[in-house]
Amino acid sequence: MVSTTTTNQNTGGIVNESQNKLTITVKVHYENKIHPDSSFDRSYSDEAVFNSNLSQSEIETSQVKIATDRIINKIFNDIVANW
């Protein structure tokens, strides 16, 4: 699931440039056949905040990669934590 939201930052009464937040959520089913008690079903989510002046291709090449890399790292850490 991918969603975006737009907010205007208000710092000390001054409204700054509009920012968007990209949120990516994935549901993972991990099955450990050797140690079944280590299997799990979890949702992982991460977000990236970016200025509204980025183009669609810039968002895809940078912000989506940032969020997915973080999610992959979380999944990897959960899988290897019990080794």
Q: What is the pLDDT of residues 16-48, one digit of tens each?
A: 567 888 999 999 999 999 999 999 999 999 999
* CB-CB neighbours of 24 under 10 Å: 19
Tokens standing for residue 49 = 């905040």
pLDDT at 6 over 60: no
Tokens matching residue 73: 């790292």
Q: Residue 27 carries which side chain, given as an amino acid letter? A: K
**pTM score, two decimals?**
0.73
